[in-house]
Amino acid sequence: MPGVEMRTKRWTRFEYERLIDLGAFGPEERLELIGGQLVVREPQGRPHSTGIRLVAGALRAAFGPEWNVEAQLPVALDEESEPEPDVAVVAGGPRDYLASHPTRPALVVEIALASLALDRGEKASLYARAGVADYWIVNLVDNILEVYRDPRADPHAPHGWRYGSTTTLRIGEVVAPLALPDRTIPVADLLL
């Protein structure tokens, strides 16, 4: 019917986790909670999978055993968002998160091919709103690393926040995570 507004249900992180515990979703259903919406994750092709492995390996080497480098595991950002970033770096070890998912990642990295627009827009705004100070996109389309920092409020951004600083890095350059500014990583180690 024209003019009829369709209503949707916004999910909380608690409701989403309860549905998971009840077995409402099968293992083949790749979902994440983004701003109260259940979003289907993109299928992983070989370049995307290889990118995750490269980034996780480089970050494990840079951060060391005091940090937990997680690939595609949930991060509890707020009451309506529990994304599963391609790679997240959190303080401590795996047992530190037995009672709940990590809430304050030191670094989040998304590997982007088909998801580039989503990662630059919706997800960047979501991570900025959650106060993630260091957000990187491994842009497989242009073979560059995009570094996003300085989260700030912006009423025009999808989730009301955006990053104030964006830096583009290429092969031959290095990047240092904000959490460990004395440890540099060659950008070539993060790209295909």
pLDDT category at 3 given cuts 50, 70, 90 is low
Count how many domains the chain has. 1
What pLDDT, on a 0 to 100 scale, did the predictor assign at position 174? Answer: 98
Read off the pLDDT of each residue in 131-140 and give the average, rounded to a whole number: 98
Say if CB 152 and CB 176 are below 8 A apart. no
- The pLDDT tens digits of the residues spanning 52-78 come to 999 999 999 999 999 999 999 999 999
Q: What percentage of the chain carries pLDDT values higher than 70? A: 98
Cβ–Cβ under 8 Å, residues 160 and 39? no
* 18 occurs within a structural domain: no
Average pLDDT over residues 3-23: 83
* Residue 133 structure tokens: 């100070």
How far is the C-alpha of 105 from the C-alpha of 91, rounded, in Å? 8
In a domain, 109, yes or no: yes
Q: What is the 3-state secondary structure (H, E, C) of 111-136?
A: EECCCHHHHHHHHHHHHHHCCCCEEE
The pLDDT, as a whole number, for residue 133 is 98
Give a yes or no: residue 10 inside a domain: no
Query: Domain for residue 93, yes or no?
Result: yes
**Is the model's pLDDT at 99 over the cut of 90?**
no
6 pLDDT more than 80: no
Residue 30 within a domain: no
Strand pairing of 87-91 and 67-71? antiparallel
In a domain, 28, yes or no: no
Percent of the chain past pLDDT 90, that is, above it, reads 71
**95 within domain boundaries:** yes
Could you tell me which residues come within 8 angstroms of residue 191 by beta carbon, excluding any fewer than 6 positions away?
51, 54, 138, 140, 143, 144, 145, 171
Q: Does residue 62 belong to any structural domain of this protein?
A: yes
* Percent helix, strand and coil across the chain, each to the nearest 5: 25, 30, 45
Give the model's pLDDT for residue 179.
Answer: 98
Domain of residue 138, CATH code: 3.90.1570.10
Cα separation, 121 vs 112, in Å, equals 12
User: What is the mean pLDDT of the segment spanning 120-126?
Assistant: 97
Whether the predicted pLDDT of 97 surpasses 80: yes
Q: What is the pLDDT of residues 138-191, one digit of tens each?
A: 999 999 999 999 999 999 999 999 999 999 999 999 999 999 999 999 999 999
Which domain, by its residues, includes 85? 44-189
